[in-house]
């Protein structure tokens, strides 16, 4: 439990919630592995880009901006 919050989906090796830099590293390693295998390389992908893409797609599907704003934590 951190600041009264529990039930995190992704924990690190120590059982603590994963932090932003840990996600950045996971994304970086995944892109590097992909780019070693395939001819068309992926650009840098970050968790923030995924979040932005998700919100953009939700807005395009009709979700109100206010709803998106309220669910961003």
CA–CA distance, 62 with 56 (Å, rounded to integer): 10
Average confidence score pLDDT of the chain: 87
Average pLDDT for 29-42: 95
Overall domain count for the chain: 1
Q: With respect to residue 51, please indicate whether it lies within any of the assigned structural domains.
A: yes
Q: Output the pLDDT for position 16.
A: 85
Q: With respect to residue 11, please indicate whether it lies within any of the assigned structural domains.
A: no
Q: With respect to residue 15, please indicate whether it lies within any of the assigned structural domains.
A: no
Please give the model's pTM, rounded to 2 decimal places. 0.64
Q: With respect to residue 31, please indicate whether it lies within any of the assigned structural domains.
A: yes
Domain enclosing residue 45, as ranges: 20-61
Q: Output the pLDDT for position 51.
A: 86
Q: With respect to residue 43, please indicate whether it lies within any of the assigned structural domains.
A: yes
Tokens representing 33 are 């592995």
């Amino acid at each position: 439990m951190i600041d009264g919050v529990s039930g995190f989906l992704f924990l690190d090796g120590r059982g603590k919630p994963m932090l932003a830099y840990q996600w950045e590293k996971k994304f970086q390693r995944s892109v590097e592995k992909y780019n070693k295998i395939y001819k068309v390389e992926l650009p840098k992908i970050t968790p923030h880009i995924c979040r932005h893409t998700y919100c953009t797609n939700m807005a395009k599907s009709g979700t109100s901006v206010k709803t998106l704003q309220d669910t961003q934590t």
